[in-house]
Each structure stands twice: as C-alpha cells, then as structure tokens.
Amino acid sequence: AERYNPHAIEPKWQETWEREGLYTFVEDPTKTKHYALTMFPYPSGNLHIGHWYANVAPDAHARWMRMRGFNVFFPMGFDAFGLPAENAAIKNNLDPARWTYANIEHMLGQFRRMGTMIDWSRRFATCDPEYYRWNQWFFTEFFRRGLAYKKGGLVNWCPKDQTVLANEQVVDGRCERCGTPVERRNLSQWYLKITDYADELLDFSDTDMPERVKAMQTNWIGKSVGAEITFDTPAGPETVFTTRPDTLMGATFLVLAPEHAKVAELTTPEQAEAVRAYVEAAGRKTDVERQQESGEKTGVFTGSYATHPVTGHQLPVWVADYVLVTYGTGSIMAVPAHDERDFEFARRFGLEIREVIRPGGLEGMGENPEAAYTGEGVIVHSGEFDGLPGGKASIAQITERLEALGVAQAKTTYRLRDWLVSRQRYWGTPIPIVYCPEHGAQPVPADQLPVRLPENVAFTPTGQSPLKLDREWTATTCPVCGGPAERDTDTMDTFVDSSWYMYRYLSPHDDQHPFDPAHANLLPVDLYTGGIEHAILHLLYSRFWTKVMRDMGLTTQNEPFAHLRNQGMILGSDGEKMSKSRGNVVDPDDLVREYGADTVRAYLMFIAPWELGGPWDPSGINGPAKWLSRVWALYFDEKAVGPEEKVTEADLRHAVHSTLKKVGGDFERMSFNTIIAALMELTNTLVKAKRSPVFGTPAWEEALDIFNRMLAPVVPYIAEELYQQRWGMERGGTQSVHLQPWPEVDEAAAVRDTVTIGVQVSGKVRGQVDISKTATQAEALAAARANPDVARFVEGKETVKEVYVPGRIINIVVR
C-alpha cells in the first residue's frame, strides 16, 4: 500500500466481483425492489464518453439504493437492429449480424471496466431471434385487435436511407437520423394505432417525468378543441376545422391544401393553368422548403366561391401550401384579422380583413391594420354574438349556438398520427404477415415464430425491401388454406424493439411469453434515465406499448416508468457536440488507461450538474485524480500523522455526519456533482484530523468507516480496496464494501449546536465568536472578551453596558 495505483486495483476487483456474482440479481421478498434502468446503447462498436456520462451517475445511484437496503434490479442490453449496422456492413462487406455481435463483445469489455453493478446475466440484444420473435408476436396480437393495419397514402420518405419514416422521425422536415430533407411517397404501409391512446397519453398522473418531457409529448399529441364548420361550395359542402368558432363572422375566404380532393373541381377554366402549376410546384417541395417560406406566403385563387353559413356572403376559395393536407380536414376558414398566417396571406393578395374581436375599451382596427390581433377581447360585427367575450370564454357557448343553427359541430383534433412501422431495409424484425391470394393478409401463427431474417441477402438499399429479392424466403404458405402465399418483405421500425424491452429483462430467455408474469412484481421501472432526445419517440411509443399490454392483460401497469430523469450532454472542449469530423472526441478508454476508471467516474459526476452536462475540460480530471490519491494517503500513509492541527472529536463527528446527511439528500435529488464536492471537502477535514489529537480515537475510526462507505457508490474500486485492506479480513474475508449498509446519520452530531455571532464594541463590529446555542449571557460575554480582536478595544476601559441578544449579537459599550 504505497501509492494509489488504480491499475493494480481495478482489474482485481472486477474479477472478484464477477466470480462471486456480486451483482447478480436475486429476487428477495423480504426487501423492497428497486428497478433502475438506463437506456440501452446501440452497439456501434465503442463506448464513448457520453455512454460513460449517462451510465456512471445512475450506477452510483443504484449502488446507493442497494446499500440502503433495496433489492436493486439493474439490467442492461443492446438495442441492436437498425441502419448503422447495415451501412457498416455494406461498407466493409460484412454480415450485419457478425458486425453487431462483435461490437457487443467489445463494448461489454469496456462496460466492465466502468465498474457498474449492472447484472449482465440478464442481457440480450434485440437482434437475437429469441427477442424479435416477441416483436412479431406482439405485431400479430396488435393485428388481431385492430391495432395494426395496413393503408395506402402519402408517407415520409428519406431518399438517403431509402426507407419510409414515422412522423416522429421527421424533425423540421428532415430525417431524424441523417438530416436529409424528407420527401413524400404514396405507399401502402403498416401502422400501429397509437391514436387510440391519444387522450390517455396526455395523462401523466402515473409517471413522474420532467416538465419539459411532458410538454414535448403534449405538444406532439397536439390536442385541439374546436369545431367543424361547413360551407357550401360549387363542389358540395366543405367542412373546415377551427379552434376559433368565435371568429366565424370574421372569415373572409377559404383555403384548401394543394393536395385537397376538391381543388380540381373548384378550379374554374380561367384559373386552371395557374392552379395546376401551383399544385405541381407544391408537390415537388419538401416540407423543409414549405416551412422556409414562412415569411412569404404563396397561393392561388381557384376562381370559385363558398357561401358563409351564417351571413350568406360569398367567400373566395384559394389554394395555399401553408394549409396542410394531413391536419384537420385539409382546409381552413381564413380569419385574417385574428390569425397571423391568414393576415399575411390576405395582405399579400389583397383579401378582405374583417375585425370581429376588439380588445376591451380600445378603438377598432381601422382601415389598415399592421398585424392580426390574436388576443382576447369583445366580439364585434358578429350579429347576435356581439358583446360576448372573444376567445376561450365563449367558444363553448358559441359552438352550441352554431350547432343549433346546424352549421357547426364540436370537434377535437389531434396532431398525433398512427405510427408507421414498415421499413424498406434489411436489418430489422421481419413483419410477420403473409399474403394469400385467397385470404388476404394473415398473421403468422405464434408457433411458427420467429420468422427469421434470411442470411446472405443482397441488402444494398434500392428503395425496395431487400427481403423481396430472396424468393425462397418470400414464398410460403397461407396459415388458413395452406395454399401458396407471399411473406411481407418489410422490417419493423427499430423503435418497436425498444418499446417493451424493459419487460424482457425480467425473463430474458423465456420462450413461452414476452416476459414471465411470475416476475411482474419487479415492475414498473422505478427510475429510468437517458437522454432528452428520446422525449417523444421512444418514451411515447413505450408508454403506448405498455397501455396496449395492459389492455391485453399482460400487465397491470399503466406506465412503464415510475420516474424518468434526463442527463445532459458532455460536449467537446470547444463547447460543440463531440464528433469525429470536428476532432473533439474524448475516448474513455484512453482516460481509463491513464487515470483508472474510478477517477473517470468521479470526474464525470463532478464536471457538471448531471442533468445539464457541459464542455469537457481536459485539465479538470487532475482534480479527481489528486483527490483519490489523497484519499489513499489518508488510509495508508503512516507519515501524515502529527499533533499540529486542532480538530476535536466534536468537529470531526460534525463534519462526518453533516456530510453524510448532505450526500444522502444529494443522492435523493440526483445531484452528483455536489456529492463529489462534499466528499472532497470532507477529505480536507480528515487530512487535518489525522494531524490532530483526535487521530486514533473511536471518532477517527468511525470517520474512516463512514467515509469508506460513502465512497463506495461513486468510486467502487478504491472503496473496495480500502475496505478490504482495513476491515475485510476481520469481517470474514470477502464481504464486499458493496454489501455493507449505508451509514446512519447521527442527527445530533450532524446539526451544529454552536452559532457564530458578531461582537460589537460601542456599536462597531470588532470580531465574531462561536458559542453554544444555549449559552447564557455570562458565557457569551466571557467568550467575547476572550476574543483578541475584541479584547484590544475593551481592555483598560470602563464598561458602561453589556447587551446579549441570544443567537444574534453581543454589544459591549465602553468609555
């Protein structure tokens, strides 16, 4: 035990822990379970610093929970299907399965070095046939329940990845993976009916998620309460969706989306050429391009007019691409006075602007308004509705009246669309449907699952599903009649895999069910951690999946996750996102080689508030590295003892127990950087105490013991070594520090019973003293006079008056 050498310690304990199955989870009805889960990684080949950042703090938390007596379930696996494997395989002329499993092996080794308490015996990869078999089983069950269906229509297409995307995978009109602007294609695809659960997904009462995540999901679901209002047109009645029926009398024109079915019929011969050209141009644009034009609205008049259902006025019908065919009814009543987009459009094309909401007590809009007025106010120019408050307050009342008049119907619309799950790529779960000329689409019977991915398929993307090329594979028989049939050749969106994987850890090799209900007592996941980038996609899908599983009778849970916490991101030292092209990537393997895993762990917890993240500071790691050397010296350096410091037993016990109390609270709040800071500060006190008379006393022994156990969750290797060298043998050899209980706070010691108060001499502050909270006036004054800074001003003078306000101030008035 000379100097701290992590390289001598870490591999040794890694092996011992594994050999002894220290982290193998065993169910134990005498303890409260705690299911902790960190989002599983994609087996890209290497753990990067972001993986470390995402995993070490939750590991420390899980270890802390374990020491507190919870039976902690902390599994991990690999999210192994998806495009990168396929793309790497194409590039290197390799089989994606080989590439993936080799990466998993490598990453397992890297994970081991990190020193987590993950129970690896539970691991699986989602590309294991015994896993994706259950994706297929779920799909067929969803199909039987009408929750999986196939339909044709316009879908998002990524021209680079050569596959369709779900709406959730299109961010600002671009492919969420590769950033390529998304195009639209008309294809027949499989959808999962997440919209059936739209309202339930807006209810977060059984899941504790950060407000930001709830807001993102709520916006994505986009529930809008309003009305549908029907206008007569030469092409028959046309219904629009509006959230503002209170502005009906301000509607001065209608707008149809370019793809709207009535466009052709409403276009007059004079306008035919202009409309055709406009619609064609709009069709060629991607959503990105459409959105870029937010400043300049474009559109074209159809030549036809619609009849206002209340006033009978003739309103021109226009076509414009700011109206989306996929939302509401694909057409709107435009109210330029009170909607910004309609206002811009009316201004550009000289259309009528009719004010119907006026802010209380103000003048009207006048001839040439500068902008739409979107606030609240009083209804004007609206006949029987005049004088009612505009906006929220009267919408229900006005809708009711319009319903009575037969022109409107209350309506709630959602932005959420069903989840498109077909993908035209190879490396995923084959969709378990066969097409029979006689019996149509039929699910593959459960006893024929899994439908295995064929091997040796030419999977270079062509826009066609690679599985189509394997004629032997596609040819099958109909489960109903036994006649010749064809398999579906698409694979599932890989977000299917991650929608239910947290259940699979309960029984990862179960071949009877997706998970064994005998272990359902482990549900739900108590603490789920991961990046904010999954706020919508993965979290919404997995919440949906759990609700379907509940309705299937597979679980009693409403939600997969009781609590969710997001970590921030570690950026490069330039403050930018780490990427190979920027050359700002930090390799955790290099750091471990240089400093050891404990230092890297401590640094990643110390570097920033965990939920915020921040830039990597290369020199900052020296702080934690030195800290651990000091910790080591504290236990083993015989020379660092001496009488020159004055830490008392009370001082020491106060420092230890107040730190213990703080660290416990910080673990509760997942404030990891302050835990490390508190432990560093306590180290300073301990170094001093070692050079004080308190050294060697029972208080000193207690301090080392408690400090050792506080170190265990954050720096598990050094904590184990300290513990074994000092106490391990006495306490039965191999009893790990990680099996010790978390220390109890001695509340009396943790709370300081002294106060620091100022001492005034004739009204001027001259010094301060530490006195007991219960000190008498005589004790307080004696302490004050003993203070040299005070003594200088009172000695040799006559005392006129002495004041002691307990806990606040001492004043000695002299002459």
> Residues in the site for ligand ANZ, rule: CB under 6 A?
224, 241-244, 247, 323-324, 327-328, 330, 332-333, 335, 338-339, 413
> Nearer Cβ to ligand ANZ, position 138 or 241?
241
> Nearer Cβ to ligand ANZ, position 27 or 340?
340
CB of 285 to ligand ANZ, least distance (A): 15
What residue type is 579 in one-letter code? S
At 284, give phi and psi (nearest 5°).
-80, -15
CB of 410 to ligand ANZ, least distance (A): 14
Beta strand pairing status for 300-307 and 224-231? unpaired
Are 79 and 565 within 8 A, CB to CB? no
Instruction: Report d(CA 233, CA 239) in Å as an integer.
Output: 10
At 803, give phi and psi (nearest 5°).
-125, 135
Residue 216 CB coordination number (10 Å): 17
- Strand-pairing partners, residue 357, are 379
> Nearer Cβ to ligand ANZ, position 149 or 327?
327
Alpha helices in 715-787 (DSSP H): 716-723, 747-750, 777-786
Structure tokens at 444: 């593959």
Chain center to CA of 106: 27
CB of 537 to ligand ANZ, least distance (A): 21
> Nearer Cβ to ligand ANZ, position 262 or 690?
262
Structure tokens at 526: 């108590």
Structure tokens at 369: 């308004």
In order, the DSSP letters of 677-695 are HHHHHHHHHHHHHHTSTTT
CB of 339 to ligand ANZ, least distance (A): 4
> Nearer Cβ to ligand ANZ, position 324 or 552?
324
Q: Is 580 annotated as contributing to ligand binding?
A: yes
Q: Which residue has the tokens 């599994």?
A: 75
Alpha helices in 610-648 (DSSP H): 622-636
Residue 463 CB coordination number (10 Å): 10
- The burial class, CB within 10 Å (0-12 / 13-18 / 19+), for 150 is middle
> Nearer Cβ to ligand ANZ, position 25 or 241?
241
> Nearer Cβ to ligand ANZ, position 319 or 333?
333
Helix axes 716-723, 597-606, angle to 10 degrees: 120
Distances (CA, A) of 619 to 467, 623, 629, 641: 51, 8, 17, 30
> Nearer Cβ to ligand ANZ, position 248 or 275?
248
> Nearer Cβ to ligand ANZ, position 244 or 354?
244
**Cis peptide bond N-terminal to 450, omega within 30:** yes
Instruction: Report d(CA 225, CA 242) in Å as an integer.
Output: 8
Q: Which residue has the tokens 């505009």?
A: 390
CB of 243 to ligand ANZ, least distance (A): 4
CB of 275 to ligand ANZ, least distance (A): 18
Share in percent of the chain as helix, strand, coil (round to 5): 40, 20, 40
- Strand-pairing partners, residue 341, are none
> Nearer Cβ to ligand ANZ, position 161 or 339?
339
**SS3 state at 563:** strand
CB of 315 to ligand ANZ, least distance (A): 13
Instruction: Report d(CA 642, CA 41) in Å as an integer.
Output: 50
CB of 260 to ligand ANZ, least distance (A): 9
What residue type is 302 in one-letter code? T
> Nearer Cβ to ligand ANZ, position 330 or 508?
330
Residue 678 CB coordination number (10 Å): 20
CB of 242 to ligand ANZ, least distance (A): 3
Distances (CA, A) of 567 to 176, 212, 329, 608: 20, 13, 40, 10
CB of 119 to ligand ANZ, least distance (A): 46
> Nearer Cβ to ligand ANZ, position 256 or 434?
256
CB of 221 to ligand ANZ, least distance (A): 11
CB of 355 to ligand ANZ, least distance (A): 11
Residue 108 CB coordination number (10 Å): 16
Residue 32 CB coordination number (10 Å): 12
Binding residues for ATP: 580
Binding residues: 580
